[in-house]
Structure 1
Amino acid sequence: MSTLAEYSMVNRTYADRINMVANESFTKREVAYFRENISKVATGDELMEDYRLYRFAMKAFGLESEIYAKGLMRKVFDEGVADKKSTANLMSDEAYRDIATAFGFAETGNLNMLFEHNVDDIVDKYLKLELEERVGESNQGVRLALYFERKIGDVEDWYSVIGDPALYEVARTMLGLPQEFVQTDVDKQVAYFEKRLPIEDLKDPAKLDKWMQRFTAMWDVAQTPATGIDLAANGIAPIQPLGSTAEIIGIDPALLADLAQYKLR
């Protein structure tokens, strides 16, 4: 099955898939444990002392791979986000700021976790991450597409996209940009993305859907050896040059000329 077809199927059945994950025995136990115990925790240290709670929290914010970086996480929780120079605010990965904000130990102790809707938000994140991981076992492109859809609504600028490896990979793939593009000056990369694809367009559901269709089609092409690829045969039409009112889907015929401006000197 193509990435586009699998992505479309997952989107159609998304709610049912989330419910299936939520109703599995292991997931139900972990969610119940989190709900029952998180209100008893008022500091980062207390959270980290309970491995089940800590693992649940880290996974919910996509930080499970950093679960053993307790020194860093202690700073993230203890310093909070009120100070612009806090550890969470200085990290390029916004997940650290998100987790510090959600729990709010530095600012409110355990107050945030006394509100059910805040706990619900974290559980919802956990379930979505779990589903994305499972989808990724069969198709990493679909996992990236789901991640992009989930995260892009909170992104304010292209610097944030470039700072998130997964978002950045989706963006580069959508525009057919080669790996060498990452070596160019970041400000020039941002300028290029802003011209081709304003962040506001990615917050428009209809436009975002077209770009996700493009990404999933392009993903399969990108996984294929470059020699002899027929883009048209893969359902990918050219993007029109800047200023055109044509549809958004395709590869820019002027891409190479544009990229020449962005080579490092």
Structure 2
Amino acid sequence: MMFQPVLPLGGFAGWSFLTRTMDSQKGAYAKSPEVAREVKYFEENIGKVKTAEDLVSDRTLLKVALGAFGLSDDIDNKYFIRKVLEDGTLTDDALANKLSDKRYLKLSQAFGFGDYPVPSTGLSDFGSKITTAFKERQFEAAVGNQNENFRLAMGIDRDLAEIANKDLKEDTLWFTVMGNPPLRKVFETAFNLPTSFGSLDLDKQLATFKDKAQAAFGDSGIKQFATPEKQEDLTRLFLLRADVQALNVDTGGSQIALTLLQNMSNGRSGLF
């Protein structure tokens, strides 16, 4: 039986428990038979893969490859994934460069089928790098099966920190976040934006994100999230907003929602 993460509580209290027990739970999950079997298979066989066709033709290899980049839902979109991989990333018209979801770009860059004469699959440490990411993402998916908000929160310190540390202009960093569906969901929820927000002009979306960030955190940029303190502030705000939205409070319950947010802010006056 697959190991199931232990999540006795929801909300920020449940998140605090998960973070305290994260290392031990991840270790136990990685040792579960199915995950261990898939990791072993990938590391033993990925070196034999020379083309994108080789990869998509082996379902287990493809499962691990996609899972490492949070793209598990594309397991049956073989033609699409093959095209992403074969096009590479070095030309403007490559499919990965045209897609707003930049996880495909990272996938194509990592494997290198369309970028180099010899793909990365031939590197001695390539298999272990991919399986390490796979185990991380699979644990997140297992958490998400019980609490989707926790899964999204787990990506903040990894994905957002990576973006925040890039030497790019703030607007470019925001567009990168906007092109990452999980992170975008975190910010949309934290800022209490409507579901129709994504249909606005991109420049209007950017301006709104920056205004909301300034109001919530005292800084309109993404680079502030390079620090663990600001990551925690965002995580707290995201989880509290998600809880309030889940309550679907009406006008009569608005004071309850306000009290919940105030009590859980722990004195962080800049958050709300």
Category of TM-score, reference length = shorter chain: 0.7 to 0.9
Relative to structure 1, the CA distance from residue 114 to residue 247 in structure 2 (aligned partners, 3 Å threshold; closer, same or farther) is farther
Distance 2:94 2:114 in 1: 11
- Give the structure 2 partner of residue 57 of structure 1: 65
* Aligned pairs for 1:71-220 within 5 A: 71-108=79-116, 110-155=118-163, 157-195=173-211, 196=213, 197-220=220-243
Distance 2:205 2:243 in 1: 24
Relative to structure 1, the CA distance from residue 84 to residue 237 in structure 2 (aligned partners, 3 Å threshold; closer, same or farther) is farther
Q: Deviations over 1:201-260 (max 9, x none)?
A: 122211111111111111111111231132342134799xxxxxx84322xxxxxxxxxx
Tell me if structure 2 keeps the 8 A contact 1:102–1:112: yes
- Give the structure 1 partner of residue 27 of structure 2: 19
Moved more, 17-26 or 39-48: 17-26
Relative to structure 1, the CA distance from residue 97 to residue 119 in structure 2 (aligned partners, 3 Å threshold; closer, same or farther) is same
SS of residue paired to 1:31: helix
1:72 Cα deviation after fit: 1.5
Equivalent residue pairs, number: 244
1:168 Cα deviation after fit: 1.6
Distance 2:264 2:137 in 1: 33
1:111 Cα deviation after fit: 4.5
Q: Deviations over 1:93-139 (max 9, x none)?
A: 11111111111112335542233443332112111111111111221
1:169 Cα deviation after fit: 1.7
Structure 2, gaps ≥5 residues long = 1-8, 164-171, 214-219
Provide the TM-score with structure 2 as the length reference: 0.82
Distance 2:119 2:53 in 1: 16
RMSD of aligned C-alpha atoms? 2.2
Distance 2:55 2:154 in 1: 29
Structure 1, gaps ≥5 residues long = 240-245, 251-265
Relative to structure 1, the CA distance from residue 181 to residue 237 in structure 2 (aligned partners, 3 Å threshold; closer, same or farther) is farther
SS of residue paired to 2:142: helix
Tell me if structure 2 keeps the 8 A contact 1:40–1:110: no
Regions of 4+ moved over 4 Å: none
Tell me if structure 2 keeps the 8 A contact 1:79–1:87: yes
